[in-house]
A = this chain, B = another copy of it.
Amino acid sequence: MSNEAPFTPEVKAAIQLVRADVARLHAELVRYGLVVWTGGNVSGRVPGADLFVIKPSGVSYDDLAPENMILCDLDGNVIPGSEGSDRSPSSDTAAHAYVYRNMPEVGGVVHTHSTYAVAWAARGEEIPCVITAMADEFGGPIPVGPFAIIGDDSIGRGIVDTLTGHRSRAVLMQNHGPFTIGVDAKDAVKAAVMVEDVARTVHHAREAGPLIPIPQEAIDALFDRYQNVYGQNSDARR
């Protein structure tokens, strides 16, 4: 392990970009009401290095800035001497690290306790895919992951086991809350915003009567189109 100094200029520049992104993206969690107090966390992988950047633990959302984001290796250890390394990283760092180690295609991870997603999680119930926005974004139901508590790799393993090979990039960890993944931190934040949106909408929809299922072939067509066409470039998730 080494301080920030030995990194190549390219990696240093990449770290600065991810620090700025991750700090800024936390404001989206606040904007959409997904977090209260100091809860929730966003991380982003540093492209071209075995590193990721994550929120410090227990710091107010008002005080988050690129320089107090925390740089970790893929075992979740803070890089000694790096900017912000005098603080502790998010208490969910081990789970983020596990995901980065085991899902090389993942560039961002987000965790919140957003109200409706947690409500489904407290029942251990997956969210059925009954709205087209959900088919677009998640390609089917949002799955539930196992009950696991903090302290070892069991949360990270639950996320990876549930999402590997799954279309959804959101998992509802039972009795706990949503974790989302993405190609980068922004994409994982979008998934966190969307999972709460669909959790809330489907909750209210079902309160009032039976839901109309969407045919599987329509779900498949919507998911396929959205992944390939939506937005301003070929990667719909950026």
Interface residues of A (CB under 8 A from B): 32, 36-39, 56-59, 87-88, 91, 113, 115-116, 118-125, 130-133, 147, 149-151, 174-177, 190, 193-194, 197, 200-212, 214, 218, 221-222, 225, 229-232, 236
Give chain B residues whose Cβ lies under 8 Å from the Cβ of A122: 130-131, 201-202, 205, 211-212
Q: Cβ of B113 and Cβ of A230 under 8 Å apart?
A: no
Bound-complex Cα distance A190 to B38 (A): 9
Q: Cβ of A36 and Cβ of B193 under 8 Å apart?
A: yes
Give chain B residues whose Cβ lies under 8 Å from the Cβ of A120: 205, 208
Q: Cβ of B151 and Cβ of A116 under 8 Å apart?
A: no
Bound-complex Cα distance A118 to B176 (A): 24
Q: Cβ of A132 and Cβ of B212 under 8 Å apart?
A: no
Bound-complex Cα distance A194 to B39 (A): 10
Knowing A123-B211, A194-B37 are in contact, say whether A133-B151 is a contact too (CB < 8 A): no
Copies in the complex: 4
Q: Cβ of B118 and Cβ of A131 under 8 Å apart?
A: yes
Knowing A36-B194, A124-B212 are in contact, say whether A231-B131 is a contact too (CB < 8 A): no
Q: Cβ of A113 and Cβ of B197 under 8 Å apart?
A: yes
10 closest A-B pairs by CB: A58-B231, A119-B205, A122-B205, A119-B204, A132-B176, A122-B130, A124-B212, A118-B201, A115-B201, A123-B209
Residue in A58, A125, A205 with the greatest tally of chain B CB atoms within 10 Å: A205
Q: Cβ of A131 and Cβ of B175 under 8 Å apart?
A: yes
Closest residue of chain B to A155 (Cβ to Cβ) is: B132
Residue in contact with A207 in the complex, picked from B38, B121, B207, CB distance below 8 Å: B207
Q: Cβ of A230 and Cβ of B194 under 8 Å apart?
A: no
Bound-complex Cα distance A177 to B201 (A): 11
Residue in contact with A150 in the complex, picked from B56, B115, B147, B222, CB distance below 8 Å: B222
Knowing A91-B230, A229-B91 are in contact, say whether A212-B175 is a contact too (CB < 8 A): yes
